[in-house]
Homo-oligomer: A and B are copies of this chain.
Amino acid sequence: MHILIIGAAGMVGRKLTDRLVADGQLAGKPITALSLVDVVAPEKPTAFPGRVTAWASDISAPNTAGPMIGARPDVIFHLAAIVSGEAEADFDKGYRINLDGTRQLYEAIRQEGLRAPYHPRVVFTSSIAVYGAPFHAVIDDEFFHTPLTSYGTQKAIGELLLTDYSRKGFLDGIGIRLPTICVRPGKPNKAASGFFSNIIREPLAGQEAILPVGDDVMHWHASPRSAVGFLIHAATMNLEPLGWRRNLTMPGVAATIGEELDALRKIGGDKALKLVRREPDPVIIKIVSGWPQRFNAARATSLGFSAENSFEEIVRAHVDDELGGNVP
């Protein structure tokens, strides 16, 4: 089995690569080849016995998708995207990468299939940014898409194209809307959503973290480990039961900041909790007020997707996967 990961150098892409290398198989078939693409060349996993190709590529450039697809990978994970803030600041770049890049990928698959039968599984990472306020208290699987960012618009279009290309028989697509991934490893970044992770990761590493919003702010989360689990399940499951509704909101944990802090204290103690410094930021408070809080992901759950059941489990996943199981 040959697997292509587009966006392999990102946090989720790296974790997915590691998991595939550790598993050695997908859907019971040995993984014989890995193709890893990103805007910077992804690192080649050393432990993988099969053929690995890793290269830097701009998926929005013409003639980029063709050669990637010419090798006829069996499964394609499409994780690449310009993130929300950048797509909002650079309108042209966001549309070029997130819309044109995605469409060129699908189109290259179609063209490859016109040459000789080809019907790869395509797993597209969408986002809960396809939804825009005002919301119901719980957002169900049939709620409409009214994105309030160009990024969300581009993801919603990617979902529509994925379904149409699947319906026409050009590829076998599934789109998964990831919750906000928490706890993100690495350094604090400038994403408006960064604080959800910062206030756990930094105190557990003995560092101070700034909390810019109030304790009652609720949001939808899953761990990096769950995100990888979603991708693997999407790549291997039977898609028949989805009909032509190929895009799904992934399960997650709806947690308030207050619940996050309770989990932090339970696991890291009072000394960790004391490292969270409250510094309300009106700009971030306003941005976050437009974000969804809670989903009913019944459809995905009934199809076998699963995430953590509590924020405490999310923190424990971080301790196990990033801190070797040890809280300092």
Contacts and interface: CB of A to CB of B under 8 A. Distances in A.
A147 B132 contact: no
A255 interface: no
A244 interface: yes
Contacts of A147: 160, 163-164
State the oligomeric state as a number of copies. 2
Contact of A144 (B91, B145, B167, B168): B145
Interface string A110-152: 0000000000000000000000100000000111111110100
Interface in A151-177: 153, 156-157, 160-161, 163-164, 167-168
Contacts of A156: 160
A245 interface: yes
The bracket for how many chain A residues form the interface is 20 to 34
B168 A245 contact: no
B145 A142 contact: no
A318 B77 CA distance: 53
A150 B164 contact: yes
A160 B144 CA distance: 11
A132 B132 CA distance: 21
A124 to B, nearest CB: 15
Contacts of A167: 148
Contacts of A141: 144
Contacts of A150: 164, 168
Interface in A241-262: 244-245
A129 to B, nearest CB: 12
Contact of A153 (B142, B145, B161): B161
Given A144-B145, A146-B244, A163 B153 contact: yes
Given A146-B245, A147-B160, A147-B164, 5 more contacts: A91-B168, A143-B144, A145-B145, A147-B163, A148-B244
5 contacts: A91-B168, A146-B245, A147-B163, A153-B160, A160-B160
Interface of A: 91, 132, 141-148, 150, 153, 156-157, 160-161, 163-164, 167-168, 244-245
